[in-house]
Amino acid sequence: MTGEDHVARYAAAVRGERTEPAPRPPEIDRRAVEAWFRRRGLPLVVRRDMRGSALLQRATPALTFLLVNDPLAALIAKLLDVPPAELERLLSNTAYVFALFAVTIATLVAPFVAGWLVAKWMRTMNRDGRLVLATIVLVLTVVVLPVVEWVTGLRSPLWLGLTINVGGTLLILFVVYVGAGSIAAWSLRSALSQLGAVGTLATRALPLLVLVVLFAFFATEMWQVAEALPRWRLWLVVGVLAVLAVLFMAAMLGEELRAMADRASAGRVPDLAAQLRGTPLEGLAAGAETADGQVRPQPLSRAERINVRVVLFVAQALQIVVLTLLVFCLFVGLGALAVDKSVVDTWLGEGKFLESGTFFNLELPVSKALVQVSIFLAVVSGLYFTASAATDPHYRKAFFDPLIDDVRVSLAVRQVYLAHKADGP
């Protein structure tokens, strides 16, 4: 109930009039709303007094990851902890190589699968069931696992295993408490969604980008400059261009979010009911609006502003990374088809075509010069896309505006959530 409501009721009581009690605001599932914010990478929007609630349960998937990963990593270390001569002999044994390969794959895959399965399982449990499972995983991770590793000889002495696991558990709990875990989980989901949007990137962004840099790809000077660069200097150039992109994104996002956050803090949320559609607060817009149709002002804290900026920055950065990789693959394929050995020899000299290219130590069936040129032009394309996504209407409508709309929905839910919280008991 607002201050104006209290004054009106007091004045009516003085005049001897009967007043009906103000309608009680509708109940909302606060835990569901806070879980919604966390899934969207906005843990700092959650009430400060609730950030530590169900901390162990929320950390259980990460603790499961540690529980599965730790013995597998220790087993790999055990298999490789032999003298060089013995290791060389073992690597000629097919069974040993197969076992090492299988354990390595399991170490890379099994912890993620286990954490995902536990998280999915916990969503089907009630509160008591989640607490029991979280306690079991905690005991297994902190106590049982170090003892088993010590008994089996995977890790010794015992105090070392206990120290590592206790330290890892405390670190996970801290990360979950401050919200970094929610942001990391959201970033992973966002990355997977960007991979699912490769078709959109390829059809809407690639054609124009390729037209911009295609002539540079067939320029002799570009091949000569790129081929002459040692790989470490090429990565240094890539780093400089990446810093320019980050600075541009930071400045551009700062302006966009400052205006959006100021409007939200002042309670100016246009078309509130539509923005709440599909959220946990759908249908609750009326209870949060004032007489003039605005939402009661709920200023964003500094931490919330930073959280929103990080989420939007990561979302756009993932778009740029995916597009850059697409451009790299396109130019490698185009060069393999269109640039013949005789052309490379004419541009760069005899024998340059025969130097095989690598990408992060992965040998590719193309020349080193083609890989160098493709890396450079892909990063230039990414920088061009960074600038165009916010300034060019075609790119902005397709790629940047959806990210802004997503943040706008989150801020609208925050305003209504805090308004109902203020009215609630």
pLDDT of 136 above 90: yes
Mean pLDDT (the chain) is 79
- Each residue of 385-416: pLDDT tens digit? 888 877 878 778 777 788 888 888 888 888 88
DSSP notation for 267-299: T--TTHHHHTTTSTTTT-SGGGB-TTSPBPP-P
Does 183 have pLDDT greater than 90?
no
Q: Which two tokens stand for residue 267?
A: 């309670």
CA proximity to 42, closest of 317, 421, 411: 411
361: left (phi over 0), alpha (psi -120 to 50) or beta: left
DSSP 289: B
Mention every residue, 6+ apart, whose C-beta is less than 8 A from residue 9.
19, 22
Give the tokens for residue 12.
Answer: 């009516």
Token readout for 170 is 């405390």
Our measurement of the distance from residue 112's CA atom to the centroid of its chain's CA atoms, rounded to an integer in Å, reads 15
Q: What pLDDT, in 10s, does the model give residues 358-374?
A: 776 666 778 888 889 99
Q: In which band, very low, low, confident or very high, does the pLDDT at 247 lie, cut at 50, 70 and 90?
A: very high
Distance (Å, rounded) from C-alpha 38 to C-alpha 182? 5
Say how far residue 232 (Cα) sits from the centre of its chain.
28
Amino acid 255 reads E
Q: What residues are paired with 289 via a beta bridge?
A: 295
Question: Which of 261, 287, 259 has its CA nearest to residue 273?
Answer: 287
Pick the more confident residue, 226 or 189: 226
pLDDT band at 205 (very low <50, low <70, confident <90, very high): confident
If you average pLDDT over residues 146-151, what whole number do you get? 88
Q: What is the rounded average pLDDT of the residues 44-52?
A: 65
Report field, pTM of the whole predicted structure over 0.85? no
- As a whole number of angstroms, the distance between CA 301 and CA 100 comes to 51
The tokens of 91 are what? 């690597």
Tokens in use for 116?
Answer: 């995902």
Q: What is the structure's pLDDT at 380? A: 92
Sequence spans of domains, the chain: 52-178, 189-423
DSSP 292-330: TSPBPP-PPPHHHHHHHHHHHHHHHHHHHHHHHHHHHHH
